[in-house]
Chains A and B, each alone.
Chain A
Amino acid sequence: MIGLLAWRNLWRNRRRTFITVASIMFAVVFANVMDALLSGINQQMTDSMVGIYSGHFQVQQQDFWEDKSLHNTFIPPKEAAGLLDTLPEVKGYTKRLESVALASAENLTRGVLVVGIEPDNEKRITGLEEKVQAGSYFHGNPGDAIIGKGLAEYLDIQPGDTLVMIGEGYHGASAAGKYHICGTIRMGSPDLDNNLVFLTLADAQFFFAAYGRVTSMPVFLKDNTIQKEVAQEISGVLPEGLITQPWQKMMPMATQSLGLIDAMRIIVLALLYLLISFSIFGTLIMMANERLLEFRVLLAIGMQKTKMGAMVLLESVSLAILGAALGFLASYPVVTYLNEYPITFKGRAAQGWESFGIDPVMPTIVDFSMFAMHSAVILVISALLSVYALNKIRNLEVVPAKK
């Protein structure tokens, strides 16, 4: 009977119920779409920054991050590689040797970052081949190099030309070499594009006389959320002196940017929840006050306050469930559509995103747990706001109902 009463009470003022349900529905739609978009941007930025270059964490010599010299290189431990090969959470891993050198062509010279890579692994894991703008990716020819687009422009060279490099190798050895430019690449970051030279790992180890040695083993995961667990597992098999370095520490600016987006997401959601709260609260105030006489009559004829409270709670929770369900039904197609066909920036906005190495698109995340979370929050808000009506009932005096 309480359920029946609550249900019919909802429809005794259809317009008010419709307005309340509609406001909850729109707020849920906004909350879901906004959350999906901002979480999508966050994910997109994380994937772009982590997936393209750094990996979710790297195995490094413990002093490498503070002193990026060839003295802090290491021979990749077989135990770690063996474990990484067996972990299903790991999308892949690769090995790199990085150091600096001077690169020249004709009478122009620039300081560059030389990165020795495993071409097949990078192609498979980071999609590096797709960033080649002119010429081709590595095809197994010794002495090939791929250079950043900006560097190519500065040195005025193109695929087919020769690049000469000189520098300091491992343990102070001289490093010098002549390389054939097989392609130019655009990484998105101006810093990288203006200074980057990719060699194969073997060529880089030969150039720096760091045979068998690497500066890092970037590890790429299928899911960002399990980063800590996997890193911890790998740390367990690393020999002394090697550590796992999380991407958050390697890219502090990016971490801050992501934190900013997350903070923005929370503020937007808080505002939406506030909006919903006012809508539900307004309805509850009206519902409670215009029915005080009725509550008194119910009390007079023998209905206990707890049952009346249950009825009011059921009414407000039903409104919230109805609004949240409609909100879910309305937002799901929008979020799914924006996931399939993300908002894409063009022109200067796109360039701005690309300058940070991020694709200029805003895909949404379709995550049912997110929808469920918003619905649960709205239910909790409704239940909490019902305290007003419940308090009215608790303090209800029956006498005025006699007339």
Chain B
Amino acid sequence: MKVIETRNLSKIYNPDKVPVHALNGVNLAIERGEFTAIVGPSGSGKTTLLNIIGGLDNPTSGSVVVEGTEIAKLEGNALINFRLHNIGFVFQAYNLIPVLTAKENVEFVMLLQTRPKGEREARVIALLEAVGLSDKTDKRPSELSGGQQQRVAVARALASKPKFVLADEPTANLDSISAENLLDIMLKLNQEENMTFIFSTHDARVIRRARRVVTLEDGRIKKDLVQNEVSINF
């Protein structure tokens, strides 16, 4: 079942001055439960693609359909609510709320969703346990290592029970052990909860463990390989 489908997606920055074609007619379909890496050199359009899929930016032309909803047509609070209920985000710089504890950061999106207290508390405990941080629930981001913060960010992304998680270079700021740990957790959640993960990366460790790797170059899909092909071609 398709979770995301992009149709002839294009994005041009500075169309009136010096046009930069970040995306050129990208057609991509993501099935439920995929663990997909978007790779490519800097400037190839990885982040732009994730931004548009996540409803954070608008395409110049083409469309993104998430389970039947064309997100470019959503505006204002409708778009914000769509993101809240359908998409989980993991950022390169973690971007946790500094004044909230790990537990509160994870709970925050569920509060925005106005979920009942009992459900929130149970899910926070489950998610922090799943990312191996059940002993750090009351720590603020400044009291956690980079790897721990990114694991909280993953827990936060999953807290809203999204249809998929977008992660923009999630291991870029992590040391190798933390990066491996994070990948283990993401894969585990992918397998156990059938959660769809799409992430951009340069990291060979991440690429090796992805089941599908989409390579972008100059805003176009150059390669789109599944697991067995990945090991042969990378």
Which of A's residues lie within 8 Å of B, judged by CB? 1, 4-5, 8-9, 11-12, 293-294, 297-305, 307, 398-399, 401-403
B50 touching A402, Cβ below 8 Å: yes
Contacts A8-B100, A402-B56, A403-B93 given: A299-B47 contact, CB under 8 Å?
no
Q: Which residues of B contact A402 (CB under 8 A)?
A: 47, 50-51, 54, 56, 91, 168
Q: Which residues of A contact B98 (CB under 8 A)?
A: 12, 294
Q: Which residues of A contact B228 (CB under 8 A)?
A: none
Q: Which residues of B contact A401 (CB under 8 A)?
A: 56, 91, 95
- How many Å from the CB of B114 to the closest CB on chain A? 10
Q: Which residues of A contact B92 (CB under 8 A)?
A: 403
Q: Which residues of A contact B99 (CB under 8 A)?
A: 5, 8-9, 11-12
- How many Å from the CB of B158 to the closest CB on chain A? 12
A303 touching B95, Cβ below 8 Å: no
Question: Residue of B at shortest CB range from A12?
Answer: B99
Among A8, A12, A300, A307, the residue within 8 A (CB) of B83 is A300
What would 9 A/B residue contacts be, using CB atoms closer than 8 Å?
Answer: A5-B97, A5-B99, A301-B84, A302-B83, A302-B160, A303-B84, A401-B56, A402-B47, A403-B47
Which of B35-43, B104-112, B207-215 is the interface stretch?
Answer: B104-112
Instruction: State how many residues of chain B have any CB contact under 8 Å with chain A.
Output: 30
Among A5, A9, A304, A398, the residue within 8 A (CB) of B77 is A304
Contacts A301-B156, A302-B80 given: A398-B56 contact, CB under 8 Å?
yes
B95 touching A399, Cβ below 8 Å: no
Contacts A293-B95, A399-B51, A402-B56 given: A299-B108 contact, CB under 8 Å?
no
Q: Which residues of B contact A301 (CB under 8 A)?
A: 83-84, 89, 108-109, 112, 156
B91 touching A304, Cβ below 8 Å: no
Q: Which residues of B contact A303 (CB under 8 A)?
A: 80, 84, 112
Say if the beta carbon of B81 comes within 8 Å of chain A.
yes
Question: Residue of B at shortest CB range from A9?
Answer: B99
- How many Å from the CB of A315 to the closest CB on chain B? 11
- How many Å from the CB of A270 to the closest CB on chain B? 36
Question: Residue of A at shortest CB range from B94?
Answer: A297
Question: Residue of A at shortest CB range from B159?
Answer: A301
Q: Which residues of A contact B51 (CB under 8 A)?
A: 399, 402
Q: Which residues of A contact B47 (CB under 8 A)?
A: 402-403
B91 touching A403, Cβ below 8 Å: yes
B56 touching A297, Cβ below 8 Å: no
Give the distance in Å from the alpha carbon of A305 to the alpha carbon of B76 in the complex.
Answer: 9
- How many Å from the CB of A311 to the closest CB on chain B? 11
Contact digits for B185-210, partner A, Cβ 8 Å, 1 yes 0 no: 00000000000000000000000000
Interface centre among A4, A305, A399 (most CB of B within 10 A): A399
B85 touching A302, Cβ below 8 Å: yes
Q: Which residues of B contact A8 (CB under 8 A)?
A: 99-100
Question: Residue of B at shortest CB range from A297?
Answer: B95
Interface centre among A4, A11, A300, A401 (most CB of B within 10 A): A300
- How many Å from the CB of B159 to the closest CB on chain A? 10
A294 touching B97, Cβ below 8 Å: yes
Q: Which residues of A contact B81 (CB under 8 A)?
A: 302, 304
Contact digits for B132-155, partner A, Cβ 8 Å, 1 yes 0 no: 000000000000000000000000
Give the distance in Å from the alpha carbon of A305 to the alpha carbon of B75 in the complex.
Answer: 13
- How many Å from the CB of B140 to the closest CB on chain A? 9
Say if the beta carbon of B57 comes within 8 Å of chain A.
yes
B109 touching A399, Cβ below 8 Å: no
Q: Which residues of B contact A399 (CB under 8 A)?
A: 51, 56-57
Among A1, A293, A300, A304, the residue within 8 A (CB) of B111 is A1
- How many Å from the CB of B3 to the closest CB on chain A? 18
Q: Which residues of B contact A300 (CB under 8 A)?
A: 54, 56, 83, 89
- How many Å from the CB of A38 to the closest CB on chain B? 42
Q: Which residues of A contact B108 (CB under 8 A)?
A: 1, 301
Among B97-126, those with CB < 8 Å from A are: 97-100, 104, 108-109, 111-113
